[in-house]
């Protein structure tokens, strides 16, 4: 199993994506010492171009940004600047993508470079593409800010390079905020809050509209360099993201903490400790996977409660209904009434 | 702002010092048991508070005539109450009378000067209100103002809509709302940076304000979307005003800071006539109209159903 990164693994080059946020904050007149207080690094360290920082340091940076720039539009403004970003080869590959499909594949492949804190997971069905945004290392209170930033970033990039605003639909797990106008202006009107998932959905026909900067040879060359960079770092995916994917792939088999720990090559106690370090626990992660999948199967694929119950290893539909009530506050039947 | 007034502050401190020296040279310090602490608390409190007011006023005002009156008035009050406090600690013989003069003379003079200053400040404020008229209608709340354009925010707009909708419904008057969005604004931010984007928003704010009537209200909804509240205005008039705004913005040549090149912009405007509805509903209809205006290429303006 390829190694992953955790919240204290120094794996993010500070002069790349973190610098985009830092520079924007500096142009807003924030003092660099106050901006970086508690992060454990200084502005001068970034300029050397070799500093690797851990996700936890990035969270501290985001906390500082939110405190020093408390306007409602900070996350959205940063989102507009995030892509293609400062990541050298990976950014230039993204900039020259031939269409949305390729851009999303690049974004997924180079997520450690382009978006290390919040990873895209793509899922296709007959008519739609779903981008589920996955927490990599336990963002906790920074999550809504990250979601606002990343959804704006992808919306802004796709709009710029496709030359039209695309009919994205947005699903957020957080409540509708007071400043809904920022979402309307920067994202659009197809918004759903309290959705129990964080996703963007688009009809598949938009995946292959040609983009204005398309340059296949530039993408191939840039990918070669970016792949070399990834190989040098040698990590794939954040700890929580990897755990999520593992649980999702093995959803058809009954799962326990011990089995998962064994697959990750560690003792159950170590797995528990690592989950604790990311401020989570096994049941929460497992429930999250099952909830998200159950919602998809019921709402999008029209499965019956019985089918879902057996797919997710519930004893019967009643058990599923009870679990569902615990996860979302409502039963599957009620939830079905709101079509997503 | 305080740096502007350093001489005034220095002068007041020197005067306070002179008073202290004067008292010490003629009188003697009282015994601990003779001191009435309640008096010290009361009189010392007045002098401390008047000093705080003085500093706050100096910090928030540019130099000028009204500011000078404020300073003179508050300085008088401060010195009088300071002398009063000194009397509690230092016994001054009856033969000396300057302390009486400072105490009883400066206080009424200070109060008179302060009153005069407040009166002129009031007149000055009326001038400023006139200037701010299209930015705030009958209601002020600095906490919900947008820091970039100094216009009211969406929250401010919602509060205004709440009262205006009620008023217009009761009086059976029409009320219209425009939502105005700059086309391809993200392009400016991407190409020239956020500072240029902010500057464009500020210049557009001035431009739109110039083209509004005295009674209208301009707010920044979010990002590059502005809202204009048009009281006593029906559909036809609102569409006409929207067309005027669209025209004037299309002809506005924004000059970039670095090369001074001209950048032109078009806008899309959604117009909604208020019905008997909530602010959120009216805003939603105006937003829908704006989206239609953006989709329809031939016209910049769309009227909500």
| A179 interfaces chain B, CB cutoff of 8 Å | yes
Would the CB atoms of B190 and A80 count as touching at under 8 Å? Answer: yes
DSSP single-letter state for residue A163? S
All domains in chain B, ordered by first residue: 2-132 (no CATH), 142-303 (3.30.70.270)
* Closest-CA residue to B116 (of B80, B56, B81, B68): B68
Residue B266 vs residues A157, A160, B209, B252: alpha-carbon distances, Å:
21, 17, 17, 9
Find out whether A208 and A142 touch, Cβ atoms under 8 Å: no
| A160 interfaces chain B, CB cutoff of 8 Å | yes
pLDDT in tens, B40-85: 898 899 999 999 999 898 888 888 888 899 999 999 999 999 998 8
Q: What is the pLDDT of residue A337?
A: 58
Cα angle, residue A262 at apex, residues A258 and A265 outer, rounded to 5°: 140
Polymer length in residues for chain B: 305
Q: Which residues of B touch A24 (CB under 8 A)?
A: 194
Say which of B187, B194, B225 has its CB closest to residue A24: B194
d(CA A167, nearest CA chain B) in Å:
12
| A176 interfaces chain B, CB cutoff of 8 Å | no
Can you state the angle between helices B154-170 and B279-295, rounded to 10 degrees? Answer: 110
d(CA A181, nearest CA chain B) in Å:
6
Say which of A24, A73, A189 has its CB closest to residue B223: A73
> Above 60 in pLDDT, residue B154?
yes
On whether the A12-233 domain is CATH 3.30.43, my answer is no
Cα gap B24→B19, rounded to integer Å: 9
Q: What is the mean pLDDT of chain A?
A: 92
Cα gap B236→B240, rounded to integer Å: 6
Query: ipTM for the complex?
Result: 0.83
pLDDT in tens, A20-43: 999 989 988 899 999 999 999 999
CATH 1.10.10.60 domain locations along chain A: 250-337
Cα gap A65→A226, rounded to integer Å: 29
Q: Which residues of A touch B223 (CB under 8 A)?
A: 73, 76, 182, 185-186
Question: Is beta strand A169-171 parallel, antiparallel or unpaired with respect to A199-203?
Answer: antiparallel
Would the CB atoms of B189 and A80 count as touching at under 8 Å? Answer: yes
In A, residues 212-271, which contact B (CB 8 Å cutoff)? none
Q: What is the pLDDT of residue B91?
A: 86
Cα gap A103→A215, rounded to integer Å: 12
Q: Which CATH class is domain A250-337?
A: mainly alpha
Higher pLDDT: A169 or B258? It is A169
Q: Which residues of A touch B194 (CB under 8 A)?
A: 24, 27-28, 77, 81
Quick one: CA torsion of B266, B272, B277, B278, rounded to 10 degrees?
10
| A185 interfaces chain B, CB cutoff of 8 Å | yes
Give the E-state strand segments of A125-267 in sequence order: 128-135, 169-171, 191-192, 199-203
Confidence of residue B6 (pLDDT cuts 50, 70, 90): confident
Cα gap A311→A318, rounded to integer Å: 14
> Above 70 in pLDDT, residue B27?
yes
Would the CB atoms of B194 and A178 count as touching at under 8 Å? Answer: no
Cα gap B304→B282, rounded to integer Å: 10
Say which of B189, B194, B223 has its CB closest to residue A185: B223
Q: Which residues of A touch B153 (CB under 8 A)?
A: 72
d(CA B281, nearest CA chain A) in Å:
13
Question: Is beta strand A52-53 parallel, antiparallel or unpaired with respect to A128-135?
Answer: unpaired
Q: What is the pLDDT of residue B190?
A: 86
Cα angle, residue B298 at apex, residues B296 and B304 outer, rounded to 5°: 50
Cα angle, residue B235 at apex, residues B233 and B238 outer, rounded to 5°: 60
Would the CB atoms of B222 and A159 count as touching at under 8 Å? Answer: no
pLDDT-above-70 percentage for chain B: 97
Confidence of residue B298 (pLDDT cuts 50, 70, 90): low
> Above 80 in pLDDT, residue B134?
no
Report DSSP letters for B48-116, one per residue: HHHHHHHHHHHHHS-SSHHHHHHHHHHHHHHHHHHHHHHHHHEE--TT--HHHHHHHHHHHHHHHHHHH
* Closest-CA residue to B72 (of B124, B25, B11, B17): B11
Q: What is the pLDDT of residue A130?
A: 95
> Above 80 in pLDDT, residue B300?
no
Would the CB atoms of A189 and B187 count as touching at under 8 Å? Answer: no
- Using the Cα atoms of residue A217, residue A218, residue A221 and residue A223 in order, give the sign of their dihedral: negative
DSSP, collapsed to helix, strand or coil, labels residue A182 as: helix
Q: What is the pLDDT of residue A106?
A: 96
The tokens 């040609």 sit on which residue?
A210
Q: Which of B161, B183, B186 to mutate to test the interface with A (most CBs of A within 10 A)?
A: B186
| A178 interfaces chain B, CB cutoff of 8 Å | yes
pLDDT-above-90 percentage for chain A: 76
Would the CB atoms of B186 and A156 count as touching at under 8 Å? Answer: yes
> Above 60 in pLDDT, residue A338?
no
Q: What is the pLDDT of residue B219?
A: 94
Residue B229 vs residues A332, B180, B297: alpha-carbon distances, Å:
44, 11, 25
């Amino acid at each position: 199993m390829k190694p992953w990164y955790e919240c204290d693994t120094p794996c993010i080059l500070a002069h790349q994506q973190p610098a985009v946020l830092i520079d924007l904050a500096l142009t807003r007149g924030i003092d660099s010492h106050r901006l970086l207080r508690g992060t454990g690094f200084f502005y001068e360290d970034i300029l050397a171009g070799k500093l690797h920082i851990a996700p936890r340091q990035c969270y501290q940076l985001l906390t500082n940004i939110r405190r020093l720039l408390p306007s409602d539009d900070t996350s959205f403004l940063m989102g507009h600047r995030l892509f293609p970003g400062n990541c050298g080869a990976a950014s230039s590959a993204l900039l020259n993508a031939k269409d949305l499909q390729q851009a999303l594949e690049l974004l997924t492949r180079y997520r450690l470079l382009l978006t290390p804190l919040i990873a895209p997971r793509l899922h296709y069905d007959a008519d739609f593409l779903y981008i589920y945004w996955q927490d990599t290392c336990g963002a906790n209170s920074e999550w809504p800010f990250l979601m606002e930033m990343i959804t704006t970033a992808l919306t802004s990039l796709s709009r710029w390079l496709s030359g039209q605003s695309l009919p994205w639909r947005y699903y957020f797990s957080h409540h509708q905020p007071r400043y809904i106008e920022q979402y309307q202006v920067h994202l659009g009107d197809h918004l759903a809050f309290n959705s129990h998932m964080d996703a963007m959905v688009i009809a598949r026909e938009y995946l292959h509209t040609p983009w204005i900067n398309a340059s296949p040879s530039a993408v191939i060359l840039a990918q070669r360099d970016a792949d070399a960079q990834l190989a040098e770092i040698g990590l794939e995916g954040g700890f929580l993201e990897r755990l999520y994917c593992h649980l999702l792939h093995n959803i058809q088999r009954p799962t326990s903490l011990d089995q998962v720990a064994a697959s990750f090559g560690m003792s159950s106690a170590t797995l528990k400790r690592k989950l604790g370090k990311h401020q989570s626990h096994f049941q929460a992660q497992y429930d999250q996977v099952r909830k998200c999948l159950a919602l998809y199967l019921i709402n999008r694929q029209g499965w019956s409660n019985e089918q879902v119950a057996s797919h997710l290893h519930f004893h019967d539909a009643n058990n599923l209904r009870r679990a569902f009530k615990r996860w979302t506050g409502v039963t599957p039947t009620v939830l079905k009434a709101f079509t997503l | 702002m305080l740096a502007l007034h350093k001489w005034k502050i220095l002068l007041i401190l020197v005067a306070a010092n002179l008073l202290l020296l004067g008292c010490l040279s003629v009188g003697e310090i009282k015994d601990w048991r003779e001191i009435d602490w309640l008096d010290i608390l009361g009189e010392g409190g007045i002098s401390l508070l008047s000093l705080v007011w003085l500093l706050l006023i100096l910090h928030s005002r540019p130099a000028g005539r009204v500011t000078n009156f404020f300073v003179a008035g508050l300085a008088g009050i401060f010195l009088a109450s300071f002398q009063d406090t000194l009397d509690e600690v230092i016994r001054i013989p009856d033969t000396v009378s300057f302390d009486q003069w400072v105490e009883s003379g400066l206080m009424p003079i200070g109060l008179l000067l302060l009153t005069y200053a407040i009166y002129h400040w009031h007149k000055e404020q009326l001038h400023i209100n006139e200037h701010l008229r299209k930015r705030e209608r009958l209601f002020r709340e600095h906490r919900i103002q947008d820091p970039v354009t100094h216009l009211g925010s969406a929250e401010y707009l919602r509060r205004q809509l709440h009262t205006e909708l009620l008023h217009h419904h009761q009086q059976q008057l029409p009320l219209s709302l425009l939502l105005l969005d700059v086309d391809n604004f993200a392009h400016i931010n991407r190409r020239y940076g956020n500072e240029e984007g902010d500057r464009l928003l500020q210049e557009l704010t001035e431009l739109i304000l110039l083209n509004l009537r005295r009674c209208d209200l301009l707010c920044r909804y979010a990002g590059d979307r502005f809202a204009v509240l048009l009281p006593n205005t029906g559909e036809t008039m609102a569409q006409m005003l929207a067309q005027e705004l669209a025209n004037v913005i299309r002809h506005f040549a924004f000059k970039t800071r670095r090369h001074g090149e001209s950048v032109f912009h078009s806008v899309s405007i959604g117009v909604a006539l208020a019905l008997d509805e909530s602010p959120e509903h009216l805003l939603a209809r105006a937003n829908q109209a704006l989206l239609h205006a953006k989709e329809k290429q031939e016209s910049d303006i769309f009227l909500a159903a």
